[in-house]
Homo-oligomer: A and B are copies of this chain.
Amino acid sequence: MSKKIPHRFYLTEEQMPKQWYNLRADMKEKPDPLLNPGTLKPCKAEDLYPVFCKELTHQELDNDTRYFDIPEEIQEFYKIYRPSPLIRAYNLEKALDTPAKIYYKFEGNNTSGSHKLNSAVAQAYYAKEQGLTSLTTETGAGQWGTALAQACSYFNIPLTVYMVKCSYEQKPFRKSVIQTFDGDIIPSPSLTTNVGRKILGDNPDTGGSLGCAISEAVEKAVSTEGCRYVLGSVLNQVVLHQSIIGLESKQAMELLDEYPDIVIGCAGGGSNLGGLIAPFMQDKLLGKASPRFIAVEPASCPSLTRGRYAYDFCDTGKVTPLAKMYTLGSDFMPSANHAGGLRYHGMSPILSKLYHDGFMEAVSVEQTKVFEAAVFFAKQESILPAPESSHAIKGAIDEALKCKESGEAKTILFGLTGTGYFDMTAYNSYHEGTMTDYIPSDEDLQKGFDRLPVV
């Protein structure tokens, strides 16, 4: 007889992971190294010290250490809002009339509203440990900025957030949450950096972009004494910190005598997906199990499904190192009608490599379909999902419906990264029927590929 599975399952505090897992250690084929944009040679630690704090630089470059101890102070912060629940979606299963068993790991039950806090805490801590006196970052939809402001407030480090100008204007409430945690916010592009002044000179009315905000935050960090830059996704260090999602999920499933046949996550920069799949991918890499992994990305920003696997800059201003990744070109911007996050031009080098080598699948979905799934899910599960997270919901529903067709009782695990409280404008436009879909043309994408750096 199988175990009685509760709706919500929480690990105890003692059961929470005490180490992060570094997926790269078990990859036979490692991701290609970051390149110094000046020399086009692989980045050394010294190349990155001016940008990132030391410990994070080491985590970024370390392809071999399998487990990193989570420092005591970070564990203490994690205990404030973790463990996150592993939820059995009984109601969703019933509504879909599927034999599939659907689980989701819900990361939205903290004030930042998303999984981003998992890495924000780590990055703020290491900065404090190194004696740094301030940090900069960028934020688009605002989840990352909120998370980092929370973390910096906790560790008492001043933070400057470059917030994409159109988000700054459209999301005054996000701004207010960041201010509650003492974050200093500057709409980007701004007059506080050379990059910003140049972009504003060329295009005074621009609403800004994530790539541009990154450039400004990096410039500010490297030109300010005791200041460093922190990033909420894409980087290896962020995927490392987010492994806590997967580690908790795997341990919880083990305690419930379960193991996923399919693991599904939304894919923007890749950190939540990378973190969720990490320990399950380890099993696959080591030949212990063979779950499927599915990245779900927006049709309007399809880096995995339609991008090129190539070296590219991580930002619009081309001040960052180059990463080998699936990319749409560093100046790619999804249409303005695209809601929420998942608007980054590239993809985590780790995930890019795994996808390239056939360990992971990817699908893209249109946003009206995503919101349809989100509203359906909300009614069954009584959680209002973020647009980003709803891509994973859509992916999970599609797989569960395939199970209905085939009669297979597969076990599906997906990551529900956050809540949609600050995305109600998009929900409004969905309810009012004014939401539209955007799919870039091959010609549009080709323009981006033509501008990729020659390495």
Binding site for B on A (CB under 8 A): 6-8, 10, 12-13, 77, 79-81, 91, 109-111, 113, 117, 150, 153-154, 172-173, 176-177, 179-182, 375, 378-379, 381-384, 419, 421-422, 424-425, 427-428, 431
Contact in complex: B424, A176 (CB < 8 Å) = yes
Partner of A80, one of B91, B153, B421: B91
For A384, the closest partner residue in chain B by CB is: B111
Known: A80-B91, A180-B378. 8 other contacts (CB 8 A): A8-B13, A8-B79, A80-B382, A91-B154, A111-B383, A173-B425, A177-B384, A180-B384
- Given A176-B424, A421-B422, A431-B180, answer yes or no on A382-B8 (Cβ-Cβ < 8 Å): no
Contacting pair A80 B181 (CB below 8 A): no
A6-B12, A81-B382 are known contacts. Are A424 and B177 too (CB-CB below 8 A)? yes
Complex Cα–Cα for A180 and B153 (A): 34
- Report the separation of the CA atoms of residues A421 and B111 in the bound assembly, to the nearest whole angstrom: 9
Are B79 and A7 in contact (CB-based, < 8 A)?
yes
Q: How far is the CA of A375 from the CA of B176 in the complex (A)?
A: 11
Q: Which of B79, B173, B425 contacts A424 (CB 8 A)?
A: B173
Whether A153 pairs with B7 at a CB distance below 8 angstroms is no
Does A181 contact B378, Cβ atoms closer than 8 Å? Answer: yes
Residues in B whose Cβ lies below 8 Å from that of A181: 378-379
- What is the bound-complex CA distance between A382 and B79, given in angstroms? 11
Nearest-neighbour CB distance to chain B for A116, whole angstroms, equals 13
Nearest to A91 among chain B residues (CB) is B80
In the bound assembly, the distance between CA atoms of A425 and B79 in angstroms comes to 30
- Nearest B-chain residue to A83, judged by Cβ: B8
Q: Which residues in B have their C-beta under 8 angstroms from that of A382? A: 77, 80-81, 110-111, 117, 150, 154
Within the complex, which residue of B8, B91, B111 is in contact with A419, where a contact is CB–CB below 8 Å?
B111
CB distance from A265 to the nearest CB of B (A): 21
Residues of B within 8 A of A12 (CB): 6
Which residues does chain B contribute within 8 Å of A173, judged by CB atoms? 421, 424-425, 428
Q: A378-B111, A382-B154 are in contact. Are A172 and B13 (CB under 8 A)?
A: no
Q: Within the assembled complex, what's the spacing in Å between the Cα atoms of A334 and B8?
A: 40
Interface centre among A80, A182, A422, A425 (most CB of B within 10 A): A80
In the complex, chain B residues whose CB is within 8 Å of the CB of A80: 7-8, 91, 381-382
